[in-house]
Structure 1
Amino acid sequence: MRPHLALIEDDPDFALMCRSYLELVGFTVTWAMDTRAGKAALYESGVDLAVLDLGLPDGSGLELLRALRSTSRLPVIVVSGRGAEADRVAGLEIGADDYLVKPFSQRELVARIHAVLRRSQPPQTPDVLQVGALRIDSGARQASVAGVPLELRPKEYALLEMLAAAPARVFSADQLLERIWGSSWWQPATVVEHVYRLRGKLARTTGPAPRITTVRGYGYRLDP
């Protein structure tokens, strides 16, 4: 089966170049030029991944991504000329699976697509993870402690789920960056910040929540 991509990009020359190359290497591509057509394309049956530009003529690509994330876990790669750290962080925090700054090669785009598709189809894991009072429903993408839901951002949830899938196992910052952010070129401070947030949210629960332990010089583990 040819993976089906939604390409949401308003620059016709760039979009046609991308679509031609992606179709040449084995993808089916639906192209949309604005947020209205993009929304329809994102919810089209059979779409496996979206490539989303942020600067669209009738709205913000980030708002389109935010709306999608309220109902769907469809993998999304943001492509944008906005390369500042704040822009990349905003896209990833809202729920992008990867962020690619223009200009880039078509080969790199294809490699990123394959990597995100692999991550979006992990080996079978239990639908429910239980670590002490922590319960993670992978199907619903919800976490709770002693029955009380945790309000988590997408990356916070992904980090907690990864740690909870292997309690007491130590994960390095590079492993966490590669699995959750899609690349280890992100600074380890990104992991430190998310661990800090998670610890705060776990500490504020009324139940006996598991704790995230720092193993100095190695990384992090989740202890019941």
Structure 2
Amino acid sequence: MRPHLALIEDEPDFALMCRSYLERAGFTVTWAMDARAGKSVLYESRVDLAILDLGLPDGSGLELLRALRSTSRLPVIVVSGRGAEADRVAGLEIGADDYLVKPFSQRELVARIHAVLRRSQPPDLPTVIQAGSLLVDTAARQVSVDGVLLTLRPKEFALLEMLAAAPDRVFSADQLLERIWGSSWQQPATVAEHVYRLRGKLAELPAPAPRIVTVRGYGYRLDP
């Protein structure tokens, strides 16, 4: 699948050059000319990485980055004509994954994108995950407790897989939304609903099963 990039840039000539080169390099690119359109792309599309200019006509790219970082860990590369150390430090401290000063070569941009995407990938999980009596076969997409198979929907499977891979670790609703749904723009109630359904299926098993525990104010964990 071609990675989907959001290019938030107000200079048409520069944006068209970037989009053309990036599409030839194997990416899908959605171009937004200002902060409002960029925010719409980030809200409504499944984006793998954002390329964000700081000097936008309707607001600061740094403010858009700050708003994004309050809800998401989407990889972001800032591109800007502002090369002063204070500007670079501000962008990185707010949460940019990389900072490129204009002008730069398109080859360097592609290399930076690949590097950031590699760093943002979650670690590979083992084929079979065991947490107490719970077995999650990630290759067969099956879950069992003491040999009894559970019938799970895809998101229920993904949620239980993530919890079982790190038993006793607490995951926030935002972390679960970002990893499983691909976005933390969803409501935390989405996670709560799936946890409720999973608890019901685990409770129906004839043998004692691991429990999904709510840690008030923090999130959820699996107790084997």
TM range (shorter): 0.5 to 0.7
Q: Which residue in 2 is equivalent to 1:60?
A: 60
Contact 1:9 1:53 in 2 (8 A): yes
Judged with a 3 Å threshold, the aligned counterparts in structure 2 of structure 1 residues 139 and 116 are, in CA distance, closer, same or farther, namely farther
Determine which structure has more spread, i.e. the larger CA radius of gyration: 2
Output the CA distance in 2 between the equivalents of 1:104 and 1:138.
38
2:80–2:100 contact (8 Å) kept in structure 1: yes
Q: Residues 122-201 of structure 1 correspond to what in structure 2 (within 5 A)?
A: 122-124=122-124, 137=171, 140=174
Instruction: Point out 4+ residue stretches in structure 1 off by more than 6 angstroms.
Output: 125-130
Does structure 1 residue 2 correspond to structure 2 residue 2? yes
C-alpha distance in 2, partners of 1:84/1:105? 19
Contact preservation (8 Å) 1:6, 1:42: yes
Task: Return the alpha-carbon distance in structure 2 between the equivalents of residues 49 and 10 of structure 1.
Answer: 18
Instruction: Report the RMSD for the aligned CA atoms in angstroms.
Output: 2.4
Task: Answer yes or no: is 1:76 the counterpart of 2:76.
Answer: yes
Shift of 1:123: 1.3
1:90-120 residue CA offsets vs partner (Å, 9 max, x unmatched): 1011111111111100000000000000011
Partner of residue 88, structure 2: 88
Q: Which runs of 5+ in 2 are unaligned?
A: 126-161, 176-224
Aligned to 1:196: none
Asked if residue 11 in structure 1 is aligned to residue 47 in structure 2, the reply is no
- Deviation of 1:2 (Å): 0.6
| 1:122 Cα deviation after fit | 3.3
Q: TM-score, normalised by structure 2?
A: 0.57
For residue 103 of structure 1, give the secondary structure of its aligned residue in structure 2: coil
Q: Deviations over 1:195-216 (max 9, x none)?
A: xxxxxxxxxxxxxxxxxxxxxx
Distance verdict in 2 for CA 1:76–1:64, change over 3 Å: same
SS at match of 2:103: coil
Q: How many percent of aligned residue pairs carry the same amino acid?
A: 85
Q: Secondary structure at the match of 1:43?
A: helix
Q: Which residue does the alignment assign to 1:101?
A: 101
Q: Which residue of 2 aligns with 1:115?
A: 115
Distance 1:85 1:65 in 2: 18
AA in 1 matched with 2:6? A
Distance 1:138 1:36 in 2: 28
> What secondary structure, in the 3-state scheme, does the structure 2 residue paired with 1:107 have?
helix
Partner Cα separation in structure 1 for residue 98 and residue 112 of structure 2: 8
Gaps of 5+ in 1: 142-224
Change (3 A) 1:138 1:110: farther
Report the CA distance between 1:136 and its aligned residue.
7.0
Tell me the number of residue pairs that the alignment of Structure 1 and Structure 2 aligns.
139
Q: Is the 8 A contact 2:49 2:117 kept in 1?
A: yes
Shift of the alpha carbon at 1:139? 7.4
What per-residue deviation string (whole Å, max 9, x for no partner) do you get for residues 4-54 of structure 1? 000000000000000000001110000000011010112232210000000
Residue 20 of structure 1 is matched in structure 2 by: 20
Q: TM-score, normalised by structure 1?
A: 0.57
